[in-house]
């Protein structure tokens, strides 16, 4: 058991408090409240740790026992050409803080019944064929992907995992101290639930990521409007209300300048759908 003195514990908490606001790099600040990622997680968990956690999850997902069917990038070259284009457009927006730190590897999961996408710590992205086929245009999917990329870029997963396991236990797991716990961590990261605050921040940064691109920056808004019109699905039941998220996205878009020249790319999105099995 690890014991800390009251003085050390208080000093540590004060340090965490002082670093809880993101202020690492003024180049990522803007008048609408944005800033570079940081906070207390940067003091405890390195970006290399994020990548290690992500790789453990990748190993789990792409094992024979996960039940997930990851589409081969060579066999489905055309489908990957489309998904790479969307990913690269977001990453090249100039707004993804860890663009050159995380690998941002992306894979498609063959599962038409699941409307989901997720990004592990360290930037390993998975998109289900179900959500691709469900959406109407490329900008909607770009909004969803921007949201998932934001979870990794804002280091939300690392924050959640630290809160669940505790820093000492987590560092022990990552060092290989308990193989069973490492397997549990890998599985938990696939099913990780984010706080409402983190979900709202990921929506916010989806708008920011898309704003400098060819897409309509409100891609995530169109996703929520579509999915909200059919009732809130179970996987969104613990998230902020879709209607409130639409309003927040509109407000962020307006604050950033409200540009209206972004495109939806309906036609080439249909080509993307046609390339899927």
Tell me the per-residue pLDDT of 189-198, one tens digit each, with 9 for 90 and over: 887 888 889 9
Tell me the per-residue pLDDT of 107-162, one tens digit each, with 9 for 90 and over: 999 999 999 999 999 999 999 999 999 999 999 999 999 999 999 999 998 888 87
Domain-wise residue ranges, the chain: 40-274
DSSP H helices in 192-241? 196-210, 219-228
Please report the pLDDT score of residue 145 as a whole number: 98
Helix (H) or strand (E) holding 72: none
- CA distance readout (Å), 139 to 112, 146, 154, 217: 20, 10, 22, 8
Tell me the per-residue pLDDT of 3-56, one tens digit each, with 9 for 90 and over: 333 333 333 333 343 343 333 344 455 678 776 685 677 677 889 989 998 998
CA distance 168 to 3: 12
- CA distance readout (Å), 144 to 36, 97, 107: 21, 18, 15
Confidence of residue 211 (pLDDT cuts 50, 70, 90): very high
Please report the pLDDT score of residue 229 as a whole number: 61
Average pLDDT over residues 263-270: 98
pTM summary value: 0.85
Q: Note whether 261 and 218 are within 8 A (CB).
A: no
- Residues, the chain: 277
Please report the pLDDT score of residue 166 as a whole number: 78
Q: Which residues contact 7 (CB under 8 A, 6 or more apart)?
A: none
């Amino acid at each position: 058991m690890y014991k800390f003195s009251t003085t050390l514990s208080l000093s540590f908490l004060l340090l965490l408090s002082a670093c809880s606001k993101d202020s690492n790099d003024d180049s990522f600040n803007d008048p609408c409240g944005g800033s570079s990622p940081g906070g207390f997680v940067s003091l405890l968990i390195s970006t290399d740790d994020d990548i290690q956690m992500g790789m453990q999850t990748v190993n789990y997902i792409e094992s024979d026992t996960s039940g997930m069917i990851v589409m081969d990038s060579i066999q489905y070259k055309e489908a990957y050409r489309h998904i790479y284009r969307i990913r690269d457009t977001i990453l090249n927006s100039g707004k993804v803080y860890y663009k050159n730190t995380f690998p941002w590897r992306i894979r498609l999961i063959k599962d038409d019944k699941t409307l989901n996408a997720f990004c592990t710590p360290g930037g390993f992205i998975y998109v289900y064929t179900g959500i691709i086929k469900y959406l109407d245009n490329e900008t909607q999917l770009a909004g969803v992907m921007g949201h998932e990329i934001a979870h990794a870029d804002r280091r939300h997963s690392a924050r959640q995992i630290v809160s669940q396991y505790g820093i000492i236990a987590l560092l022990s797991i990552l060092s290989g101290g308990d193989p069973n716990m490492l397997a549990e961590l890998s599985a938990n990261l696939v099913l990780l639930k984010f706080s409402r605050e983190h979900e709202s921040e990921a929506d916010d940064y989806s708008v920011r990521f898309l704003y400098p691109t060819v897409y309509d920056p409100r891609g995530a808004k169109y996703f929520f409007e579509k999915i909200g019109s059919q009732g809130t699905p179970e996987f969104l039941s613990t998230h902020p209300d879709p209607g409130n998220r639409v309003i927040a996205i509109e407000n962020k878009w307006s604050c950033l300048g409200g540009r209206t020249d972004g495109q939806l790319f309906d036609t080439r999105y249909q080509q993307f759908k046609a390339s899927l099995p």
